[in-house]
Each structure stands twice: as structure tokens, then as C-alpha cells.
Amino acid sequence: MTRRSLAFDVVIGAAVFVVLALVPLVFPSKALIDFVIRFSAYALFATSLNFLVGYGGMVSFGHGMFFGLGAYAFALLMQRTGMPIPAAFAITLVICAALGVVIGAICVRLKEIYFAFLTLAFQMLLYSLIILWVPLTGGDQGLRGGIPRPPFLGINLANQTHLYLVSCTLMIIGMILMHHLLQTPFGYTLRMIRDNAARANFLGIAVFRVRLLAFVMAGIFAGAGGVIMSLFVSGAYPEFAYWTISGEGIFIIMLGGLSTFLGPAVGTVILLVLNDFVTRHTEYYGLTLGIIILVFALGLRRGLLDVLVDLWDRRTALSAAGAKAGNVSKASL
């Protein structure tokens, strides 16, 4: 894929928004609206995780901590202060960034599996804190009683359609921003570090700083996903900060593909559809999901979008120039 300008992304984003806005008018299914809202939350989370994993080569097992923190910070701010939603949203993102700086500074030095485990350890520490600090967080029962949603700018988030539109907007803006970041010199430096950190270091790049920045950025977008989820359930529950959320994130990007920007989004759709479909028809969700995972991991061996992109590349390569015998170029990012 060639570099795209920000303007191009914005145009695409606007078009997607228009389509999504029209969808509930064409298919007025409330389940679909709920689906897209959940999709927005998880897609932001998964794409931000891939920011780290696919583009940064930093496999984090604790990314869910930002999702959970985003949900709790926002819900607490709304419950305790009733401040305007945009203000609470902004403060939540700042809090996620702050946590990202502190934890990232400690973790980002480590390599591979140790980075993964340390991020997991920190996530579980945060989870323990949420469970313990009952007066603030409600403990294991979560923040109950709903969160107040004072209308702002004529938008009332207690109305599911408004929530739908705002979630889509947040998701699209988040995706555009993340994509744009990856197209900047920072993004390419990140990829270079992923491919060969030693070489990048010799070239004089401050590897630590770039990685830390990536960690913080990913945390901010994951927090935004958490905010959408907390609005959806009108509260915040410790499950949002549990390691299973991180696991689902990893699973999503494996399903959709790590090598493309939209892979995680595709993976989110697959997981959510699977989840909704399977729980309807059987109570052996684990068995079904396990078999499907095996099909992906042993059969396809890559995420869905990766497979599709490869097929596409193969077709265009073969048809473009017959002279280039059997040389299939992988999609460069």
C-alpha cells in the first residue's frame, strides 16, 4: 500500500460515517445498532493493540489495562462529578496517557516474552487495585447505578441512536488518527525498530523513546474504546480490566491479520459475529470457539485480511507483468 495523505483518509472516513449513519435507517435492527457500538469499542482497542504488536513488534499481554482504565475513569468522573461528557472524555484520555508513560517507561525496555509478561503483571495489579478499592470502584460488583449522561451540544447519549452515531464518530476519528500516525516518520521509525532494533539504534534513533511513545499512543486509543464500552453498559465492571480482554485483543488481531491496518477491524467483526452467533445456538461455546481457532491457526495460519491481501497481491502481480516470473511481493506497509 502506498502512503496516503491525511486528506484522503478523512474523505474515506467521512464516507464510512455517512454509510454507517444511514444503516439504521435501512436496517432498523436494534441488535445491529448495539453491534456497531460494541464493534467501535473493540475495534479501537484491537487496532491500538496492533499498533504495538504488528507495527511495533511489541507483544503486550496487558493492553486491556487501558481499556479497563478508560471505562472506569470515565464512569467514575461522570458518576462523581457529572461534568460535561467531552471534558470527562478528554480527562480520561489524559489519565490513560499518564498510566502509559509510567508503565511504559518500566516495561518497554524488556524484550519479547518478558515485555509481554510484565505488561500482564501490571494489568493484573491494576485489576487487583480495582477489586480492592471498594469505596472508589465498587469492588468486584463494578460501578453500579448507571452513569449520568448529561446532554451536550444537542447530543443525548442516553438515546441509543445518538450513542451509535457518537461511537461511530469516535471510532472513525481514532482509526484515521492511528493510520495517519503510522504514515508519519514516527510510524516508519517504529516499523524500522520492529524489523531491526539494533540497526535502528546504530542509526542514532532513540529506540526507547519511540517505543514509549508508541505504548502511550496505543494506550490512549484503547482507553477511548473503554469509554465507549462504559457508555454501552452504563457503568464499568472489573471484567473490563481482566486479562481476558487482552487475550481477546490478541485473538482479534490474529483472526483479522497483523500485517494490515484494517486487519484488527476485520478480526473484531469476526469475533463479535462468532460470539453472538455461537452463544445463540449452543452452550458449548468453548468447544465451538476452540475448533474455529484451530481452523484459523492450523489451516489459514494467518489472519483473514492477510490472506485476502496476499491473494489480491498475487493476482495483481501475475497479471501486471508476465516477465516477473513467480515473484510474489508481500504487501509492504
Tell me which residues in 284-313 interact with other proteins (CB under 8 A). Answer: 284-287, 289-294, 296-298, 301
According to DSSP, the residues that pair with 152 across neighbouring strands are 155
d(CA 155, CA 166): 9
CA distances for 6 relative to 3, 173, 177, 180, angstroms: 10, 11, 9, 6
Please, are residues 292 and 274 in contact by the beta-carbon 8 Å criterion? yes
CB contact set of 324 (below 8 Å; sequence gap of 6+):
317
- Measured at the CA of 40, the angle between CA 51 and CA 255, to 5 degrees, comes to 55
Options 161, 184, 201, 279; binder of other proteins; rule CB under 8 A: 279
Indicate whether 113 belongs to the interface with other proteins (CB under 8 A): yes
d(CA 65, CA 43): 16
CB nearer to other proteins: give 113 or 203.
113
d(CA 261, CA 247): 19
Backbone angles phi, psi at 155, to 5 degrees: -100, 130
Binding mask 34-63 for other proteins (x = CB under 8 A): x---x--------------x-----x----
Hey, what's the cell of 30? Answer: 436494534
CB nearer to other proteins: give 165 or 183.
165
Nearest distance, CB of residue 58 and other proteins, angstroms: 12
Options 31, 198, 320, 325; binder of other proteins; rule CB under 8 A: 31
Question: How many distinct helices (H) and strands (E) make up the chain?
Answer: 14, 0
Nearest distance, CB of residue 181 and other proteins, angstroms: 23
Binding mask 123-162 for other proteins (x = CB under 8 A): -xx--x--xx-x----xxxx-xxx-----------x-x--
CB nearer to other proteins: give 5 or 279.
279
Q: How many residues bind other proteins (CB under 8 A)?
A: 71
Show contacts with other proteins in window 163-222 (CB under 8 A): none
Show contacts with other proteins in window 216-255 (CB under 8 A): 229, 232-235, 237-240, 247, 250-251, 254
